[in-house]
Amino acid sequence: MKAPSKKRRYGGSSVKARYAYGTARVHAMKVKLFPKETYTKLLAMTLPELTRFIEESEYKAEVDELARKYSGIDLIEFATHLNLARTFIKLREMTMGEPHELIVEYLRRWDIREIKTILRGKRYGASDEEILRVLVPTGELSLDFLQNLVRKPSVEEVIAALKGTVYYDIIKDIDYSESFTELEDALDKFYYLRMVDSVSKIRGSSLYLRVIEMEIDVANLKTLFRLRNAGISGARVPEYIIPNGLYLTDQEIEKMANAPFEEFVALLSTYPYWSAISDIVTERMESLSKIELRLDKYLNEHVWKTSTYYPLTVLPMLGYMLSKDTEAGNIQAIARGKEAGLPEDIIKDHLLL
Q: Are residues 27 and 126 in the same domain?
A: yes
Specify whether 156 is located in the same domain as 229.
Answer: no
Identity of the amino acid at 45: M
Q: Are residues 139 and 258 in the same domain?
A: no
Please indicate, yes or no, whether residues 302 and 336 belong to a single structural domain of this protein: no
Residue 163 bridge partners (DSSP): 165
Domain of 27 in residue numbering reads as: 18-179+314-347
Instruction: Give the residues across from 165 on adjacent strands.
Output: 163
Could you tell me if 296 and 333 lie in one domain?
A: no
pTM comes to 0.87
Q: How far apart are CA 281 and CA 221, in angstroms?
A: 12
Classified as helix, coil or strand, 83 is helix
User: Is residue 100 located within the same domain as residue 244?
Assistant: no
Same domain, 269 and 324: no
Check: CB of residue 58 under 8 Å from CB of residue 111: no
- Claim to verify: residue 116 and residue 145 sit in the same structural domain: yes
Q: What angle do CA 251, 113, 50 make, to 5 degrees?
A: 120
How would you write the pLDDT of the chain (353 residues) with one tens digit per residue? Answer: 334 444 544 444 477 888 888 889 999 999 999 999 999 999 999 999 999 999 999 999 999 999 999 999 999 999 999 999 999 999 999 998 888 888 988 899 999 999 999 999 999 999 998 999 888 899 889 999 999 999 999 999 999 999 999 999 999 999 988 888 889 999 999 999 999 998 888 877 888 999 999 999 999 999 999 989 888 888 888 888 999 999 999 899 999 999 999 999 999 999 999 999 999 999 888 789 999 999 999 999 999 999 989 988 889 999 999 999 999 999 999 999 999 999 999 999 899 98
240 and 164, same structural domain?
no
Residue 5 lies in a domain: no
Rg for the chain (alpha carbons), in Å?
21
Q: What is the CATH number of the domain that holds 265?
A: 1.20.1690
Q: Is residue 112 part of a domain?
A: yes
The alpha-helical segments, DSSP class H, found in 31-176 are 36-43, 47-55, 60-66, 72-93, 97-107, 109-123, 128-132, 143-151, 155-161, 168-171
Instruction: Please answer whether residues 265 and 235 qualify as being in contact, where contact means their C-beta atoms are separated by less than 8 angstroms.
Output: no
Q: Rounded to an integer, what distance in angstroms lies between the CA atom of residue 195 and that of residue 53?
A: 38
Do both 128 and 221 map to the same domain?
no
The reply to whether 132 falls in a domain is: yes
**Measured on CA atoms in the order 77, 78, 81, 83, is the torsion positive or negative?**
negative
The answer as to whether 96 is a domain residue is: yes
Q: What DSSP line would sit under 264-330, residue for residue? A: HHHHHTTSTTHHHHTTT--SS-S--HHHHHHHHHHHHHHHHHHHHH-TTSSHHHHHHHHHHHHHHHH
Let me know whether 253 and 334 are in one domain.
Answer: no
Q: How does 81-118 read in b/e, with b if 16+ C-beta sit within 10 Å?
A: bbbbbebbeebbeebebbbbbbbebbbbbbbbbbbebb
Q: How many domains does the chain have?
A: 2
Q: Identify whether residues 296 and 329 lie together within a single domain.
A: no
